[in-house]
Amino acid sequence: MTERASEDVAARTAEAMERADAAGRGAGVRLLDVGPGRARVGMAVAERHVNGHGICHGGYLFLLADAALAYASNSYGTSAVASGADIAFLRPVPLGAELVAEAVERARTGRSGLYDVTIRSGELVVAELRGRTRQVPGLPPPV
């Protein structure tokens, strides 16, 4: 497949996923960029994202990273889901912060994938996620 064709598959897959992602839409996740094995998503920390300490709840940081992981791992047009992930919360994130999560494929073999996701607020890294994915033949394709 040509590079252009691969980019087209990633874009079409991401568009279909974005339309169907009620959870991401409800949380305010926005798709910023996608390509084969990579994706960037953003989210502005709003009142609904803040925990009892007045900072972004870790669950929303995980959701943001997981969204980037999902777009990146499905970018080849074959359905894939997270099979596990570990996240490190490195800094508190205040109300009003603009977050960007960038997922990068590290390895893909057979039906398994490995991805690193970095969440930044401006230049500051606020969290890192390592995610594992598995292609699932029984799921309908994302496009």
> What CATH number corresponds to the domain at position 70?
3.10.129.10
C-alpha radius of gyration, the chain, whole number: 15
| Chain centre distance of CA 30 | 10
- Is residue 101 within 8 Å of residue 115, measured between CB atoms? no
Tokens (6 digits) for 77: 């047009």
Q: Which pTM value belongs to this model? A: 0.95
pLDDT value of position 31: 98
- Please report whether residue 28 resides in a domain: yes
Domain containing 65 equals 3-135
Q: Binning pLDDT at 50, 70 and 90, where does residue 117 land? A: very high
Dihedral sign for Cα 17, 20, 23, 29, please.
Answer: positive
Least trusted range by pLDDT, from 69-73, 76-80, 123-127: 76-80
- Please report whether residue 58 resides in a domain: yes
pLDDT in tens, 28-50: 999 999 999 999 999 999 999 99
Closest residue by Cα to residue 46 from 119, 94, 96, 92: 96
What domain count does the chain have?
A: 1
